[in-house]
Amino acid sequence: MTRVADLLVDLLRAEGVRSVFGVAGDSLNAVTDSLRPRDDIRWVHMRHEEAAAFAAGAVAQLTGRLGACAGSCGPGNLHLINGLYDAHRSRAPVLAIAAQVPSPEIGSEYFQETHPEEVFRECSHFRGVVSSPEMLEPVTREAIRVAKAEHGVAVVVLPGDIAERSVVPGPAPRSPPTLAPPSADPAPSGPELDRLVELLNGARKVTILAGGGCRDARDEVLALAARLRAPIVHTLRAKEFLEHDNPYDVGMTGLIGFSSGYHAMGDADLLVLLGTDFPYRQFYPATVRKVQVDRDARHLGRRTPVDLGVVADVGSTVRAALPRLTPKADSGHLTQSMAHYGQSRRALDELAVGETGSVPLHPQFVARVLDELAPDDAIFTCDVGLPTVWAARYLRLGGRRRLVGSFWHGSMANALPQAIGAQRAFPDRRVISLSGDGGLSMLLGELLTLRQVDLPVKIVVFDNRSLGFVQLEQKSAGFLESGVDLVNPNFAELASSAGLLGLRAERPEEVRPMLGEMLAHPGPALLDAVVARQEIVMPPTIEPSMVKGFGLWLIKAILSGRGDEIVDLAKVNLFR
């Protein structure tokens, strides 16, 4: 006979799960006991369940395999919810084990009783309750199937007493640990393709906005750009597979982009949206015609009106259209967009400098040096806010480099737990967390996890003593700053007390040697980079409602002696 918990672990292992992230609790005792003696699948003890869900989501995003996390009954599994939201919105297949109170007590308002099947409804595709030992296998198999097929979260609710009972297992699992492709028509229908070709051939200036749905269609997107002489604007999710070695790339748009991407879209007479649900409506040009290709029909026209919406795979659609497209002889739009991109790129790079003895550090300089020193197969994670800005603008992701963040859910404190998941999945690669001081502080206990489970994650803390992006938003809207100041410890000393290598850089000449030392260290390490408190990050266009707040801020900055820097940054973000 086999315990229910043993069968659960066997099912997970058969699906390629190598780590189950969580915090132990009495209702999870049977599960953690089943994991304890095994080498082929390990329990990873975190300090907070939210971090466990972030870690599982990172594993799924980076490997394509099912990620797994667990929480004990009541408060334990409730703590999973934020990380599960992030995984679900990132389309990461994750199975969450939500332990439950003893089965005879369910419905009696028992101590710590909640109803996970209801709590997780909005952030999962499937929630199954195991109400008897015999139900464990069918419920878990269905959860795994749905998580993989729908590319999202599935929850198995397992009472602690049932996990300890015996069960007769069915046949050994045979399903491979791979993801099912998303369900959608692989290629457009005849009339849709005809109309798409007509619009592409009829446009004089075409710009492509490419998103995460182009992951497996890089060659096709570049071939389309070559045929149409079209600049490519990429979203943040598309950065790692479209930006590098791309002669048509003109950067990003949006709140963390810069002007070349924004204007390449606005100057076109046809904007082609490929595999993207880019959410910021104010950055779409209002008068430009648009076509959109996406596997998910719900995305078509959701953010901006489109003249043609095609429910299809990006790669298949482009391959079908290319032979019918007339090569464009006029490269004026592409040439102008590329020149604008070069100007914007140079201006941003000019901000990423550090003169010996100057303080405070510019965070752009820290990010640029990190990019230079990190190995070609590094995996980066970044906290929401300013660390995401520096990652988007200064990390080069060509080759095997990867970038993971909370790009859809937008949660704080994601970078360190996602780095833990990444390091568990890829023990031989450098995993580097670009952490904000606010984000690191929120799940600070995971520093202890690094030492406890012996993971050599490297952390760069952008220590500006504030919630920097919140401060930016308040200023841009004309509000007085409220609740953004942080009284920070010396993070290097704090890391050292936890058993990590702790370093602290306050001057530019310290950055390169300390980053080098951190990256070479065999164990976990942290660099506390004390950076400028106020570093201006302006979107590539400013709405009228934003002018008052930015104007007051600019005046204060100029009076404080930062006028040259303001002018340089304004050129990057505002002007063509």
Active site residues: 49, 111-112, 384, 469
Token output for 323:
């032979």
Name 158's bridge partners: 99
Q: Is 167 helix (H, G, I), strand (E, B) or coil?
A: strand
Name 234's bridge partners: 210
What H or E segment, with its residue span, contains residue 528?
strand 525-530
Asked whether the CA dihedral 249, 255, 259, 261 is positive or negative, the reply is: positive
H-state helical runs in 175-258: 190-202, 218-228, 239-242
Token output for 193:
């393709």
**Long-range CB contact pairs, 176-182, < 8 A, 24+:** 177/14, 177/15, 177/16, 177/17, 177/65, 177/66, 178/16, 178/64, 178/65, 178/148, 179/64, 179/65, 179/93, 179/148, 179/151, 180/148, 180/149, 182/151, 182/295, 182/296
Enter the DSSP assignment of 531: B
Cβ contact 365:354 at 8 Å: yes
List strands edge to edge, sheet with 458-463. 402-405, 379-382, 431-436, 458-463, 525-530, 501-505
**What is the rounded (10 degree) CA torsion for 358, 361, 367, 373?**
50
> Is beta strand 166-167 parallel, antiparallel or unpaired with respect to 525-530?
unpaired
User: Which residues neighbour 331 within 8 Å (Cβ) at sequence distance 6 or greater?
Assistant: 229
